[in-house]
Amino acid sequence: MYKNLSKILLISLGITSFTWIPLPGSVKPLSFFIAIFVIILGLKKLPKFTKVDLLVSLFILYAILRQSYVLYEVWNIGGSVYFKSRSVEQDVITSLISIIVFYVHYLSLKVSLKVLGIHDFLRCAIYGVGLSCLFAIMQFILSSIGLSSVGNSITKIVSDSAIEWNDRARGLAYEPSWLASQITVIMIPFLLYLKVRGSNIRNWNLWMVLSIVSLIITFSRGGILALIIIIIFYFATILNKKSMVNVFAFITIGAISYPFASNILLSNAYFRSTYSGIAEGLGQMNVREAFLKSNAGPRYAAWESALDTTVDKPIFGTGLGLQYREFAKNPPRWSIVLPEVRYWLSNYYPDRANPKNMILRVSSELGIPALVLFIVCIYISFKTSRYRQIAIFMLPAIFIDFMSIDSFALITLPLFLAIGGKYESISHND
C-alpha cells in the first residue's frame, strides 16, 4: 500500500493548480497533500541524513527565521500596508507556506525514491507528466478547431488557471511554461536516462514523441532551448563507436522533423515575435532592446529591480514575497510605459512584479548569504548524486527554469535535490 501511495504522489506531479486545494497563490500542487501522507506514514523509511539534507534544512530554517522576523517587524513596528488587496502579513505567510511545500515535497520524494527504487520512481514520474501532455494535445486540437473554451473547461475541473490559453497548451499545469518545465526537467531527462541505462519502459519512443510534441505546442522559449541543450548533453554521454547508430538515428529524426517543428513554432505569433525580436535586439548589441522587442521587456524590468534590491539590502533582503512591493516603490523608469508594468504598478490589477528569476528572488528577498547557501545545495546535490547521469540531463532545464520561474512550491527543484546526494552521508563512518 505504501508503494502505491508513493506512485500516486509521482503520478500527481503534473497537476500544479488543483481546484480543490485551499492554498494561497496560483501554485496549488495536488502532490502536496499526498506528500504529507507519504511523510507521515514513512518517517521510518527516510534515508540516512546526508550533506544535501543538512544544507536544504539550513536553507529552509534560514528562510523561516527571516520570515518570522519580517512578521515581527510588521506586528511590533508597523507597516501592514495593503497593496494588490493584500497585506504584508498575507504576502509573508503565503511565501512561508511555499517554503513548507518545498520541504514537504523534498522529504516525500526522498522517501518515495527509497521505497520504489530508481526505475519505478522514474517511470511513475514519466506517467504523471505524460498524463499532463495528453491533456495538452487535447487542448491544442480543440483550439485548432475553434473549441478552445471546451478544452479550458475540461482542464479546469482538475487544474485551474487565471488565463484561458487559446494558442498555447498548458496540460494540467497552471500555465504553458510550467508544463514545458516539467517536460524538460522530468520527462525527457528520465526517458533519456532509462534509454542510456538500457532499462525497459513500454513504448519508449511513443513517450518521447509525446513529450517533444507537447513541448512544442507550449511554445515555451525556455523549453525549446532546454530541449536543444539536453540533446547535446545526451549525444556527449552516448558518443562512442557502439552508439553511433543511435546518434545517427537521432540526427536523422531531428532533420526530418525540423521543418514540421519550426513551421508550427513560427506560426505562433508569440514565438515568432520572440525569435525576430531577439535577432533584432542582439543585432543592435543591446540586451535590453532584445528583451523589449521579444515581448520580454517587463521580465527584464523585474530582473533589474530585483538586482537593485539585492544591492540595497545585500545581507537579509526584503523578505520572501515582498520584492514586487519594492518594484512598485521604485520601478525602472524606462519600463513605466510598458502596459504589463502598468498593471504591476496599479492597485486595481492582481498582476505582480515578482522577480521572475529564482536566483534573483533568493538574493533580493533573502539576501546574498542565503543565495550562496542555495547554490551550494544544488552543487553538492549534483556532486554527490549516485544518479549523476540523470542530474546531468536535468541540469540545463533547471538552470533555464531559474531564469523564468521563481516559485518554491513547484516540484522540479525539490525533485532534483531529492535525487542528488541521496547516499552521501555526513558521517565519515558510513
Per-residue pLDDT at 180: 95
CA angle at 403 for the pair 291 and 325, rounded to the nearest 5° = 85
Give the count of beta carbons closer than 10 Å to the beta carbon of residue 43.
Answer: 10
Per-residue pLDDT at 260: 59
Per-residue pLDDT at 244: 57
Q: Grid coordinates representing 202?
A: 513500454
Per-residue pLDDT at 314: 95
Q: Which of 30, 25, 38, 33 is CA-nearest to residue 11?
A: 30
Q: What phi, psi does 83 have (nearest 5°)?
A: -150, 135
Per-residue pLDDT at 234: 83
Per-residue pLDDT at 281: 58
Q: What phi, psi does 50 have (nearest 5°)?
A: -120, 175
Per-residue pLDDT at 429: 37
Per-residue pLDDT at 421: 62
Q: How far apart are CA 119 and CA 117, in angstroms?
A: 6
The amino acid sitting at 270 is Y
Per-residue pLDDT at 428: 35
- Catalogue the long-range contacts made by 278-287 (C-beta closer than 8 Å, 24 or more residues apart): none
Q: Decide: 36 and 104 in contact? Cβ < 8 Å.
A: yes
For the chain (length 430 residues), average pLDDT per consecutive 10? 88 92 81 91 75 93 94 79 87 92 94 90 95 95 88 88 85 93 95 84 88 92 88 75 58 60 59 60 66 78 95 94 94 91 91 93 96 94 87 92 90 91 42
Per-residue pLDDT at 402: 93
* Three-state DSSP class for residue 28: strand
